[in-house]
Amino acid sequence: MLEMRVSGFRLLLLVSCFICKSKGAIVPALIMFGDSIVDVGNNNNLLSIVKSNFPPYGRDFINQRPTGRFCNGKLAVDFTAEYLGFSSYQTAFLNREASNENLLIGANFASASSGYYDATSVPFGAIPLTRQLSYYRTYQNRVTRMIGRERARTLFSKAIHILSAGSSDFIQNYYVNPLLNLLNTPDQFSDVLMRSYSDFIQNLYELGARRIGVISLPPMGCLPAAITLFGFGNKSCVERLNHDAVMFNTKLEHTTQRLMHRHSGLKLVAFNVYQPLLDIINNPYDSGFFEAKRACCGTGTIETSFLCNSLSIGTCSNATGYVFWDGFHPTEAVNELLAGQLLGQGISLIS
């Protein structure tokens, strides 16, 4: 009898923590999948060559400490969590902090250098989307044990799930993989990725997710590292890559609409980050920036992950005027603007 009372008290305590943690938030939980755009530190715990848990990463984050975010400060999903009313950020699922009541406001399963195409993650030791989904099932079981099946089912269905993928598939795989180039045109490769995207959304739906936002490709040809790698000495955006991104995003939007019509009760939004980011790059001064071609870290041309470190020569002292923090990722200032754009586009997910 005493054991039953203790178990009942523990359940009540966890439910109270759930209500307290999400109090003031518009949705009960925020759950992230994908790549470095939303990874908050899962790669810290992997034998991966793609990490950012060292300076100067995180120098403008809370307590000026690196967390595994590929940024000088907050990611767009961090600002999204704030805008939705959460008092703390969703933790990386592989971190030690991912336990008990911390999981009741959601979790982050993203892994830098992963993509829709599972093979993309292999050379970098990243977590492919299929395994991220497996971790999500584990997460669901843990939450269900904590707060009960009905409360958990409600949490999963009302939570916002965010997916960011695709850039690594092109920049770190397709464009540098002669075999993929031989077997597929960019259009055909996009179709391969769309099938993986459809399967992922189908699996999430079967697991009870009903509110999902997927982030489009950025203007890939304007990323400093892409200009360096694929621009052949030209300092302008690589239009071929931007064309591929537009083509992919068009397919993403069409596939998203088909999936939403196919699944009853599913709210699925394709977030367009391409145009807002391109507008900032083309007209940086209008948004308060002065540097849109060169990144803050190091020479600003290629440095990312271990190449962007405390010994990197040339790192800027103040990133607020820069569009890009490293060769692939925006600064905190840009992430804040993009988060506002995403919130506006995703009203249907919270209504």
- Please say if the pLDDT value at position 8 is more than 80: no
329 is catalytic: yes
Across 301-310, average pLDDT: 97
Contacts 24+ apart (CB under 8 A), 136-142: 136/31, 136/33, 136/107, 136/109, 136/204, 136/207, 137/207, 139/93, 139/103, 139/107, 139/109, 140/207, 140/208, 142/103
Whether residue 302 is contained in a domain is answered as no
The tens digit of pLDDT for each residue in 131-157 reads 999 999 999 999 999 999 999 999 999
Query: For residue 338, what is the domain's CATH number?
Result: 3.40.50
Where would I find the beta strands (DSSP E) of 227-295?
Answer: 267-271
Across 44-59, average pLDDT: 97
Whether residue 282 is contained in a domain is answered as no
Q: State whether residue 122 is helix, strand or coil.
A: helix
Whether residue 107 is contained in a domain is answered as yes
The tens digit of pLDDT for each residue in 83-131 reads 999 999 999 999 988 887 899 999 999 999 999 999 999 999 999 999 9
Residue 49: per-residue pLDDT? 94
Residue 247: per-residue pLDDT? 98
- Please say if the pLDDT value at position 15 is more than 80: no
Mean pLDDT of the chain, nearest integer: 93
Total count of domains within the chain: 1
| Cα–Cα distance for residue pair 243/89, rounded to 1 Å | 35
Whether residue 145 is contained in a domain is answered as yes
Does 326 or 233 have the greater pLDDT score?
326
| Cα–Cα distance for residue pair 68/39, rounded to 1 Å | 7
Asked if 326 and 295 count as a contact pair (C-beta separation under 8 A), the reply is: yes
Whether residue 19 is contained in a domain is answered as no
Residue 14: per-residue pLDDT? 40
Across 51-63, average pLDDT: 97
Query: pTM for this one?
Result: 0.92
The catalytic residue among 35, 39, 60, 326 is 326
Whether residue 105 is contained in a domain is answered as yes
Confidence of residue 23 (pLDDT cuts 50, 70, 90): low
- Residue 193 sits at φ, ψ, to 5 deg, of -65, -35
36 is catalytic: yes
Please state, for a pLDDT cut of 90, what percent of the chain lies above it. 90
Confidence of residue 338 (pLDDT cuts 50, 70, 90): very high
Range of the domain at 104: 30-221+240-274+332-349
Map tokens 């697991």 to a residue: 207
The residue type at 162: I
Degrees, nearest 5: CA angle 114-117-119: 75
Whether residue 148 is contained in a domain is answered as yes
The catalytic residue among 161, 244, 312, 329 is 329
| Cα–Cα distance for residue pair 192/69, rounded to 1 Å | 28
The tens digit of pLDDT for each residue in 210-266 reads 999 999 999 999 999 999 999 998 999 999 999 999 999 999 999 999 999 999 999
Whether residue 260 is contained in a domain is answered as yes
The tens digit of pLDDT for each residue in 261-289 reads 999 999 999 999 999 999 999 999 999 99
The catalytic residue among 22, 36, 114, 168 is 36
| Cα–Cα distance for residue pair 186/309, rounded to 1 Å | 33
